[in-house]
Amino acid sequence: MTEILVHGATDGAIATAPRVVEHPAWPALRDAVEEIRPWQSKDGSIDFEAEGAPSPATVERVVERVIGAVEELSPLLPHDAAYHRALVTDLRRWAADGFRVPDFLDSLLAFQPARNRVDGLQHLVVFAMYTQNGNPDRNLEAVVLKMVWPEWLADLEADRYDNPLFCGITFEDFTAGYDTNSAVLFPETIAVREAPSASPGAASSATARPPASAVSPRPPSSCSAWSCPRTSAR
């Protein structure tokens, strides 16, 4: 398995990390997400009355495959452990609610790449979202991305353009919604029950399950600044 070099987040040392996209759980995750996407309506829900719709039990089994793959990959990414735990909870809540409009607010608030801006650091991201300049529907998507944070950029950001939420990223692999020449990853594209009232980094205190119609199309701009990615194509 290919390894990538990553600067240590605390001491500047070089460490090696296996590439997520070369782990067998990644294609399993990607395939499970691709199986779910055609079943979803524009708002991300699944209409079991629609012609050709799967049974709830079928969708639950595929979602469990997504969860199993995330849990298998998560040890490769200890910096994303809290996010992945919240993601599993959000996915299981979606299933328990009958696959109504999905709500990924808790996992969105747990995903904090700007806290660890290390060149080459990988992240595994799964959300129900639309993709700008790509798919307009809030389908489930899975993305493996890598932080782009060379020393010259870190120096520039620290000395002249201080923005603690700015992240440069590049995509390693992704599901069909990101198969576009202009792919970006912005938090405001993600299906959530309400616009976050706290800035990124604050813990989410919301625990109530959302009603079927509750989806906020755009969280506030304070939540949209953590990702300013580089364009990438497969």
CA distance 18 to 122: 9
Beta bridge partners of 127: 141
CA distance 67 to 88: 6
State percent of the chain over pLDDT 70.
Answer: 75
Higher pLDDT, 13 or 66: 66
pLDDT of 31: 98
Question: Exposed (0-12), middle (13-18) or buried (19+): which is 146, by Cβ within 10 Å?
Answer: buried
Higher pLDDT, 215 or 177: 177
pLDDT of 15: 55
CA distance 114 to 201: 9
Q: In a 3-state reduction of DSSP, which class is residue 88?
A: helix
pLDDT of 194: 83
Q: Is the pLDDT of residue 213 over 70?
A: no
Strands 122-129 and 139-147: antiparallel
The closest alpha carbon to 106, from 117, 116, 92, 118, belongs to: 92
Higher pLDDT, 182 or 233: 182
Average pLDDT, integer, range 68-86: 97
Average pLDDT, integer, range 201-208: 26
Mean pLDDT of the chain: 79
Q: Is the pLDDT of residue 198 over 70?
A: no
Higher pLDDT, 169 or 42: 42
Domain residues of the chain, as ranges? 3-223
CA distance 174 to 42: 20
CA distance 186 to 229: 9
Q: pLDDT tens-digit profile of 149-195?
A: 999 988 888 888 877 778 888 889 999 888 877 567 777 888 888 87
Q: Is the pLDDT of residue 111 over 60?
A: yes
The tokens for 199 are: 């800035």
Q: Is the pLDDT of residue 206 over 70?
A: no
Which H helix or E strand runs over 146? strand 139-147
b/e per residue 65-88 (b: at least 16 CB within 10 A): bbbebbeebbebbeebeebbbbbb
pLDDT bucket at 60, cuts 50 / 70 / 90: very high
Higher pLDDT, 200 or 141: 141
Identity of the residue numbered 33: V
**From the CB of residue 130, how many other CB atoms can be counted at a distance below 10 Å?**
20
Q: pLDDT tens-digit profile of 2-41?
A: 445 455 444 443 457 799 999 999 999 999 999 999 999 9
Higher pLDDT, 156 or 100: 100
